[in-house]
Amino acid sequence: MSEDAPRFDADLTAPAGARLAIVAARFNEQIVDSLLQGAREALRRHGVVDANVLVVRVPGAFELPLACQRIARSGKVDAVIALGCVIRGDTPHFDYVCSEAARGCSTAALATGVPVAFGVLTTDDIDQALERAGSGAGNKGADAALTAIDMINLGKRLGEQGY
């Protein structure tokens, strides 16, 4: 690749008028509420106004993909943020829920062309979940919000370059 070729680096400043949706699971609500708070705060800090953020609650992580896909297909948002928390138990249920949530959110993004940022915690225990949903830099909901902004900007820049 030549030095004259376009380069696309991170851009975490939301474009004016950016519209996002946050789809958050109700299961493990205390953890997910912390992720949701982190995501909302990160969006505000990076230029997204509250009026442009739709928040939708679904029963659990398994239900995230369908809601994400419906919202993405609506044409009313620039990106979707999926938030949930699945904590390992004594059965293989954990593995099925985690993989289907991840696969489904990825499929929703690919099918619609709208970024779906995956902010679903998959932890071995409650302590790990609390750590990843903490305040400040450790909040994975905030990380997912920044990913969504970055992908909105990347999509705009790629489009401007004809990609």
Percent of the chain, pLDDT > 70? 94
Beta-carbon-side half-sphere exposure of residue 125 (alpha carbons within 13 Å): 1
- Range of 142's domain? 20-154
Direct distance between the N- and C-terminal alpha carbons of the chain, in angstroms, rounded to an integer: 16
Q: Name the pLDDT band for 8 (thresholds 50, 70, 90).
A: confident
| Residue 11 within any structural domain of the chain | no
46 is annotated as an active-site residue: no
Residue 136 in this model has a pLDDT that exceeds 90: no
| Residue 3 within any structural domain of the chain | no
Mean pLDDT of 54-79: 98
- Write out the DSSP string of 61-117: GGGHHHHHHHHHHTT--SEEEEEEEEE--SSTHHHHHHHHHHHHHHHHHHHHSS-EE
What CATH number is given to the structural domain containing 72?
3.40.50.960
| Residue 1 within any structural domain of the chain | no
Residue among 45, 76, 93, 103 flagged as catalytic: 93
| Residue 115 within any structural domain of the chain | yes
| Residue 15 within any structural domain of the chain | no
Taking only the tens place, the pLDDT of each residue in 142-161 is: 999 999 999 999 999 999 98
| Residue 56 within any structural domain of the chain | yes
Mean pLDDT of 29-56: 97
How far is 157 from 114, CA to CA, in rounded Å? 14
| Residue 162 within any structural domain of the chain | no
Residue 137 in this model has a pLDDT that exceeds 70: no
| Residue 161 within any structural domain of the chain | no
Residue 115 in this model has a pLDDT that exceeds 70: yes
Mean pLDDT of the chain: 94
Q: How many domains does the chain have?
A: 1
